Structures are given as structure tokens and as C-alpha cells.
Chains A and B, each alone.
Chain A
Amino acid sequence: MKDTTKFGISKKRVEDVECLYLKGYLDAHTAPILENTIQDSLNNGNFKIIVNFGELDYISSAGLGVFMVFIEDIRKNGGDIKLANMNEKVFSVFDLLGFPMLFDIHKEENHLISSFGSVKNI
């Protein structure tokens, strides 16, 4: 079993959108937990996903990589992964690699729930 004390995910369903709330550290140790959670959502036919980073303190490329694993498949199925509520430190890692090119990243989660249907294209 992995030590999950420093990372956690809680879920909430709003209409047909799956909201995932991350907390703690998302690195090579904990990224498989997020990957399994998103895979579960896809297995259940949920392709509209919002990830809320409000309580996430750290992310490395292993965490960013999880979103790249699923984004193509999710968009092919008419869904999207939208990202919300990052602190400045976490956003700076997404920004460093240019992730805002591909992903909708917003300060507020509420705005995103109504925004499915508009997908960011390069």
C-alpha cells in the first residue's frame, strides 16, 4: 500500500460533471492514485471532469503527465478535463511547460461547470 497521508482526492458530482478535489503533494509517488481515480471516472462513462487544486501544495511532472494520459481519449468522447483553483506555486509549474495552451485553467470552479462544450484547441 502506498502512503497516502500526504495526498488525497475527494469527489463530488455536479449534474453530469465529476469534480475531483486534490490535496497535499502530487508527485511520482502519488500520481498513480490520481491516474486510477480518473480511469475509474472514464470506466463509468464520465468524461466531463473538473480538477480542483485548492488544497494541493505541490505538483511535479508526474502529476502533469496524468492529464496528458487521458486528455485525448476524453476529448474524443466529447468531454474535457478542466483545472481550477490552483495556488500560485502549482500554477507556475503548469505555466512553465505551457499547459495553459491545451487546458482550461480557471481561478474558480463554478465558472467551469457551465463551460463544458467549449474545448481549448491549439
Chain B
Amino acid sequence: MIEIIENNKLKAKSDTSELEKIREFVSLKASEFGFSSAESQKIALAVDEACSNLIKHSYKYDNSKSFCLEVETLDNNFTVKILDKGIPFNPMSIAAPDMEEYFRTFKRGGLGIHIMKLVMDNISYLPSNEKNPYNLLKLTKELH
């Protein structure tokens, strides 16, 4: 079950049934920060894509595992941090697809990362290390 730990933090289990509440949480926080409804929904979409990938690829749909979301704001920047203990995977290591070629050759997959990059202004990734057991994905959008 989804658990809102503090005002800006949420814990979710590694299960796609959690995505709806994750979107609601992110969309609400983005709206409170000042983004329009359409922009807030796009940010929630980008976070949905990141979490869907995490559940599928890093946790292999193991719903005994969980991850955390934290919203951080600084000046005009709205950041969603996603912390997990799954298999490290850096979405920034994947090149953006050429969509014309993608459609011409009927490719599959990889669209979630593309959406994240198109929607957010900055994405960074830090895999876990000896000092920090969590992988950290940061998705940032600037409010104009």
C-alpha cells in the first residue's frame, strides 16, 4: 500500500497498482508548486514512466520490494527524487529514438524513457554505492 510518510515523501511497493496514487501525489505537489493542470499531469506522467520502469526492470515485478518518492523544491525547480534498492539502471544511458525510424520499422519499447526526457528539464542518476544503499533518480522541471 501507498504510504505518505511526510508531506513531501511517499513510500510505494513495487507493484503497478501503485501507479495511480503515485500520479495523484506528484500531480498534486506540482500543482501546489504552481504548475498548470496540464503541466502537472505531464510531470506525473514522467514519474509514472520512471516508476513503471523501476518496477519492471529493477525489481522484476517483485511486490515484496518498495521504493520512495520525495518532492524537493528549490527556487523555480521542482524535483522528484526516486530512491530504490533494485538493480541499478541509468535511463540517461539510453539514446533518444529517432521516432520516424521507430515507426517505419515498427519498433517496440523504450518510449517511457523518451517521455521522461521530453517532459523534464533535467534528469540525473546516481547508482547505489558503499556509502549509500539507494539508487537515486532525480527528475527536475523548472517553473517558468
**Co-complex (A, B):** yes
- What's the least CB distance linking A65 to chain B, in Å? 6
**A61 adjacent to B20 (CB under 8 Å):** no
B4: A residues at CB distance < 8 A: none
- Is A6's beta carbon under 8 Å from chain B? yes
- What's the least CB distance linking B74 to chain A, in Å? 27
The chain A residue with its CB closest to the CB of B56 is: A28
Instruction: Point out the residue from B23, B99, B107, B112 that lies within 8 Å of A58, measured CB to CB.
Output: B23
Interface residue range, chain A: 20 to 34
- What's the least CB distance linking A57 to chain B, in Å? 10
- Is B114's beta carbon under 8 Å from chain A? yes
Provide the B7-38 mask, 1 if CB < 8 A to any CB of A, else 0.
Answer: 00000000011011001000000000000001
**B115 adjacent to A27 (CB under 8 Å):** no
B118: A residues at CB distance < 8 A: 96-97
Interface residue range, chain B: 20 to 34
**B99 adjacent to A97 (CB under 8 Å):** yes
- Is A108's beta carbon under 8 Å from chain B? no
**A101 adjacent to B100 (CB under 8 Å):** yes
A65: B residues at CB distance < 8 A: 108-109, 111
A29: B residues at CB distance < 8 A: 16-17, 19-20
For the complex with contacts A27-B19, A60-B45, A99-B103, 14 further pairs of A-B residues with Cβ separation under 8 Å are A2-B17, A6-B20, A27-B48, A28-B52, A60-B112, A60-B115, A61-B115, A68-B106, A68-B107, A97-B99, A97-B114, A97-B115, A101-B99, A122-B100
Q: Return 17 A-B CB contacts under 8 Å, by A number.
A: A3-B17, A25-B20, A28-B16, A29-B17, A60-B45, A61-B114, A62-B52, A68-B106, A68-B108, A89-B41, A92-B38, A92-B42, A93-B115, A96-B119, A98-B103, A122-B100, A122-B104
Give A contacts to B, CB under 8 Å: 2-3, 6, 25, 27-29, 58, 60-62, 64-65, 68-69, 71-72, 89, 92-93, 96-99, 101-102, 122
Across the A-B interface, the 4 shortest Cβ-Cβ residue pairs: A29-B16, A61-B111, A72-B106, A28-B52
